[in-house]
Amino acid sequence: MKIGFKKERPVLGLALSGGAVRGAAHIGVLEVLQEYAIEIDCIAGTSIGALIGALYAFGVPLDEIEAFARELDWFKISSFILPSTGLLSNDEMGRQIENLIGDVAIEDADIPLAIVATDIVTGERIVFRDGSVASAVMASSCLPGLYKPLEYRDRLLVDGLLVENVPVRATRELGAERVIAVNLGGNFTYPKPDGIIDVMMNSFEIAVDNNTKRILKAADVVISLDLTSYSRFDVDDVPALIDEGQNHTLARIEKIQHVARPCGRLHRWWRRLLSSSERLPADKVVPQCE
């Protein structure tokens, strides 16, 4: 889906990272953006960012998303299976998504949406811009080793954090000229493990962080949160995590307002130059508004 260049301001995209229950901070980010009337034109999400982004893109009110997050026990929404390619299945997550927004397609979202997953066979970055929302979110949040990979569209898919944990590129591919990136692992340090799952999660995060640092250079505004003191799976932390998202967004609100402001002459010229293109190149950064 390509966003048309009809507005007198830059097309503004939001990239939401993974982070399990810590993704509740995304709700706080969205609350502040709404409060300051920052209109988001497109959203890309990875893992929990895909879930929160999808619900928001389909018009679910933030208070309902918060209530959903409070009940999002990552083990209750899973079912144990005999170990083969994973210990758990997240089919229940898909059912809960469909209960909330229906069996809907990504291309029908109110706000253009992209969801990032990884092909565990080829190592490819897979970006869903059409097809089942529930299936795409399930694929994007299949943590390797913990969840059984999802077989979908002749691929074996796992968590998108392996290839693009903060989906800045996916947001630009939707047509965003400005990108606000929300990184839930902003301090690039890791909590002392309290069990095998924490060991796995630390290992994955360490492996992807160098890639994330490179990815964030392409964003216009980065909201980086230090959430290492919060559990990845304890829903009791949801209210505090929402507060963290609000506070960190408020700290960057002037920069956000700057990149979202109406375009000057140079920006309008650049947009006209690109308007005949089928897609805004992911590696092109549109000049700042005057």
Point out the catalytic residue in the list 159, 220, 224, 237. 159
Q: How many angstroms separate the CA atoms of 191 and 1, rounded?
A: 39
Point out the catalytic residue in the list 17, 41, 47, 89. 47
Q: Is 94 exposed, middle or buried (0-12, 13-18, 19+ CB in 10 A)?
A: buried
Tokens of 183: 């990184």
* Chain position carrying tokens 């693009």: 164
47 is catalytic: yes
Tokens of 157: 């898919």
Tokens of 63: 């208070």
Decide the pairing of beta strands 178-183 and 221-224.
parallel
Amino acid at 143: L
Decide the pairing of beta strands 113-119 and 86-89.
unpaired
Decide the pairing of beta strands 79-80 and 113-119.
unpaired
Nearest to 72, CA basis, from 248, 232, 270: 232
- Residue 14, strand partner residues: 43, 180
275 is catalytic: no
Q: How many angstroms separate the CA atoms of 22 and 233, rounded?
A: 8
Nearby residues of 166 by Cβ (< 8 Å), 6 or more positions away: 15, 16, 17, 46, 181, 182, 183, 212, 215, 216, 219
Neighbours of 97 (CB within 10 A): 25
Which residues are tagged catalytic? 47, 159
